[in-house]
Chain A
Amino acid sequence: MVQMSIIYAACVAGAIGLLFLLPRRGNRWWPIGAVLGGGALGAGLLALARGGGGGGVDLFFYLLAFLAIGAAVRMITHSRPVYAALYFILVVLATAGLFVQLAAEFMAFALIIVYAGAILITYLFVIMLAQEAPDDQHPDALTEYDATAREPVAATVAGFVLLAALLGMMYRGTGAMPAHAAAHRTADAELAVLTGKVQAALRAADLIRPGETIREVDAEARTAVAAQDSGDGLRTVALPDDLRVSNVDAVGVSLLSEFPVSLEVAGVILMLAMLGAVVLARKERVGTPRDSKSGNTPHDSQSLIVGAEGAL
């Protein structure tokens, strides 16, 4: 059992450490914050490890968790936005590592591609687009709003009270959760609908003849019914042992069979967001003549800039 006193003490120490780390002008106290915060994090993870790991948690979990939390702290305490975004990429990578630990490798790669590859790059673009220096003499100087935190004490106290409440609830109130065995599905049940995959695997293993197709798959008994194209010659073939449902198969079957409408709605949301972003970020073209010869200079940047200034 995890010792709650250690968890609560780690929360308090972490809060004080984070307070020292939050950005302010001439922050000389950050080593204290780093020691306190790192100590709190280490103590918390150690309390977890002593409380009993097992069941899929090994050393890699602690390493990746330490990496994720450390990068997250550095992300909210770094006063330069570009570095904050880069530290967030580190958080994403650590999270993807944890997903691999949880046998969710498809989501791990999707996370890296979508988050680190697409979303964060957009953030970096906008950060660099909207960068400003306080004056021309010091292009590297920090702006006031990046260099100082807003109400650090109140925010940190509120955050860590929330954390302590969450953890207290988690370690005292989860006894009534249903055992996972009850909700468990039979392994490889998705094979029953993945006839194409079964057929390809059987054909690759030379278990069915070229003219035969798979009519039905019994995932429980691990057999398949094959038939000639003409419709006769039904026979039952045993599935090879190495034919398993991969993570991508399972996610795909669940996504398309259980949540098809949600998938469509997600597509609509994405398209609306794209339209909205285009409409919001569009520059107004004011006062540009729409004569018939404008086709000769379709990208008249001068008139675009003039138009933007007119819009302001």
Chain B
Amino acid sequence: MTEPLSILALNHYLLLSAVLFVIGFIGFLTRRNLIIMFLCTELMFQAAAIAMIAFGAYHGNVQGQVFLIFILTIAAAEAALALALVVMLYRRRPTLDAEKWSELKG
């Protein structure tokens, strides 16, 4: 293990993480393409991953990295399921517009 992170450096990484999360959040709200919306959730996963690794480096242990392994697992599972759903929806009606599927809301 190398030098632990100082709190100033930790704040740098947390700021980057917050900015990336918010960009993904805005993208999720504004884009209408279903696939791009899922891609924006992946961006939010990335932001969480940066925060995990930075906190792990700050506390000088590897548990942040271990949790990132689980984040990657969940992200892969989520991507597989979400894309299968998109393919199924697209086969039913050939559009990816989230607005066109608004009758799916509960």
Contact = CB atoms under 8 A, between A and B. Distances in A.
Contacts of B90: 129-130
Contacts of A44: 15, 19
A65 interface: yes
Given A53-B8, A280-B88, A91 B46 contact: yes
Contacts of B42: 88, 115, 119
Contacts, number: 281
A72 to B, nearest CB: 5
B30 A55 contact: no
Contacts of B20: 68-69, 72, 91
Secondary structure of the A contact surface, majority rule: helix
Given A123-B83, A148-B32, A277-B84, A170 B14 contact: yes
Contact of B35 (A52, A55, A123, A254): A123
Nearest to B11: A170
Contacts of A148: 32
B88 A158 contact: no
A221 interface: no
B84 A57 contact: no
Interface in B24-47: 24-27, 29-33, 35-36, 38-40, 42-43, 46
Given A88-B39, A184-B60, A276-B84, A107 B65 contact: yes
Interface string B42-76: 11001001100110111111111110111011111
A119 B76 contact: yes
B11 A76 contact: no
Interface string B78-97: 11110111111011101111
A170 B10 CA distance: 10
B20 to A, nearest CB: 6
B54 A122 contact: no
Given A75-B43, A88-B43, A262 B60 contact: no
Given A145-B95, A158-B29, 14 more contacts: A54-B6, A56-B5, A69-B23, A72-B43, A81-B36, A81-B39, A91-B43, A99-B53, A107-B65, A126-B83, A149-B32, A170-B14, A183-B61, A312-B92
Report, nearest first, the 4 A-B pairs whose CB atoms are least far apart: A55-B6, A76-B27, A273-B77, A155-B29
